[in-house]
């Protein structure tokens, strides 16, 4: 079976730190470059003051990147949905600009106040228009970076798709036959193809217009909505446990109740999945029934 390079198998353990580190480095370099340019244009302004102004802008942008990433997953820019997604992102760029300006102004006012001075943003309508001309480009670059990163992860991690349903037997009435449930998926990765058994899927997660399949420590994306794909799986084994998560009951190792009323599911491979309180009691009962019946 073909897998991604060894380093990629270890990447999930450090993925969050790498992602945060990437944006910290990018924003720090941007702030340093902008500070230098601003200081060269206005050498009468102290360099530390210029650096502080640019740093507050970078911090405000950095705090908004997780929200942009979450929105981009819900409204991905694809050719088949561009007419719907593009206006949404144009509106989101306006919200991004407003929050960016508000955040950096608050930080600047606080910093100036600590220094015994006062910060004046200037004429708000004019300054907002000026900032939007810059922020719409920043927003676009962030979205492009997120899309490129997801494409890279897709190529390295592998993209799954359903196998074509088998042809009905001659003379069979297809209209009265139940829709076949997928038992295997074809995964394309690094120009190679292999099959993944549905029974090996430990849990699923909604990721915009994709479903993340978590199989034996490997993650694959399948182009489908979460609800549509879950309806195709065996309901005796695959159950929804959260708004965006579902698990294979055969893979649950432990159910840990939480003080909030929710629960944390620990799977056999060590992964943990959130379980909302509305599903908690049903999951416990279903898991006991599934454990008492032979695997399929």
Neighbours of 146 (CB within 10 A): 19
Q: How many CA atoms lie within 13 A of 52 on its CB side?
A: 16
CB of 133 closer than 8 Å to CB of 74? no
**Residue 173 covered by a domain:** no
The verdict on 129 and 237 lying in the same domain is no
In this prediction, the residues of the chain whose per-residue pLDDT falls under 50 are 1-4, 165-167, 169, 172, 174, 177
Model pLDDT for residues 184-222, shown as the tens digit of each residue? 888 877 667 778 888 999 999 887 778 888 888 778 888
- How confident is the model at residue 86, as a pLDDT? 93
**Residue 100 covered by a domain:** yes
Measure CA 205 to chain center.
10
The verdict on 190 and 112 lying in the same domain is no
- How confident is the model at residue 134, as a pLDDT? 95
The verdict on 197 and 276 lying in the same domain is yes
Neighbours of 273 (CB within 10 A): 21
How far is residue 27's CA from residue 62's CA, in Å, rounded to a whole number?
Answer: 7
Show Cβ contacts of residue 105 under 8 Å, excluding neighbours closer than 6 positions: 119, 121
Count structural domains, the chain: 2
The verdict on 131 and 232 lying in the same domain is no
**Residue 169 covered by a domain:** no
The verdict on 14 and 135 lying in the same domain is yes
- Phi first, then psi: give them for residue 123, nearest 5 degrees: -70, 110
Q: What is the DSSP letter of 209?
A: T
**Residue 32 covered by a domain:** yes
Which of 92, 125, 157 is the C-terminal boundary of a domain?
Answer: 157
How far is residue 45's CA from residue 119's CA, in Å, rounded to a whole number?
Answer: 14
Give the helix ranges, DSSP H, for 43-184: 47-74, 82-114, 124-157
CATH assignment of the domain containing 229: 2.40.50.1020
The verdict on 100 and 200 lying in the same domain is no
**Residue 243 covered by a domain:** yes
CA distances from 295 to 130, 174, 192, 248, 288 (A): 62, 28, 30, 11, 13
- How confident is the model at residue 80, as a pLDDT? 66
The verdict on 64 and 198 lying in the same domain is no
How far is residue 197's CA from residue 6's CA, in Å, rounded to a whole number?
Answer: 22
**Domain range for residue 132?**
6-157
**Residue 174 covered by a domain:** no
Show Cβ contacts of residue 142 under 8 Å, excluding neighbours closer than 6 positions: 65, 68
The verdict on 143 and 20 lying in the same domain is yes
The verdict on 216 and 130 lying in the same domain is no
Token reading at 289: 């029934």
CB of 65 closer than 8 Å to CB of 23? yes
The verdict on 151 and 261 lying in the same domain is no
The verdict on 196 and 111 lying in the same domain is no
- How confident is the model at residue 296, as a pLDDT? 52
The pTM (predicted TM-score) of the whole model is 0.66
**Residue 255 covered by a domain:** yes
The verdict on 93 and 193 lying in the same domain is no
């Amino acid at each position: 079976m073909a897998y991604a390079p060894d380093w990629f198998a270890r990447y999930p353990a450090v993925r969050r730190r790498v992602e945060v580190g990437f944006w910290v480095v990018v924003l720090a370099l941007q702030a340093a470059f902008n500070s230098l340019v601003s200081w060269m244009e206005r050498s009468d302004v102290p360099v530390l003051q210029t650096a502080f102004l640019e740093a507050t802008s970078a911090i405000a942008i950095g705090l908004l990147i997780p929200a942009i990433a979450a929105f981009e997953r819900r409204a991905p820019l694809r050719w088949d949905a561009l007419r719907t997604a593009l206006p949404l992102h144009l509106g989101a760029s306006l919200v991004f600009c407003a929050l960016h300006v508000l955040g950096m102004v608050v930080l600047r006012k606080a910093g100036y106040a600590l220094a015994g001075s006062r910060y004046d943003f200037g004429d708000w309508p004019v300054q907002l228009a000026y900032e939007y001309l810059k922020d719409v480009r920043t927003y676009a670059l962030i979205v492009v970076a997120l899309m490129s990163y997801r494409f890279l992860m897709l190529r390295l991690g592998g993209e799954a798709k359903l196998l074509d349903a088998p042809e009905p037997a001659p003379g069979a009435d297809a209209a009265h036959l139940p829709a076949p449930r997928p038992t295997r998926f074809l995964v394309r990765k690094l120009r190679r193809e292999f099959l993944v058994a549905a029974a090996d899927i430990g849990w699923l997660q909604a990721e915009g217009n994709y479903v993340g399949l978590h199989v034996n420590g490997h993650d694959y994306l399948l182009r489908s909505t979460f609800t549509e794909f879950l309806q195709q799986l065996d309901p005796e084994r695959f159950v929804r446990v959260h708004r965006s998560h579902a698990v294979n009951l055969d893979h649950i190792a432990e159910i840990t109740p939480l003080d909030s009323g929710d629960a944390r599911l620990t799977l056999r491979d060590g992964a943990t999945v959130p379980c909302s309180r509305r599903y908690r009691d049903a999951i416990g009962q279903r898991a006991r029934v599934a454990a008492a019946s032979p695997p399929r």
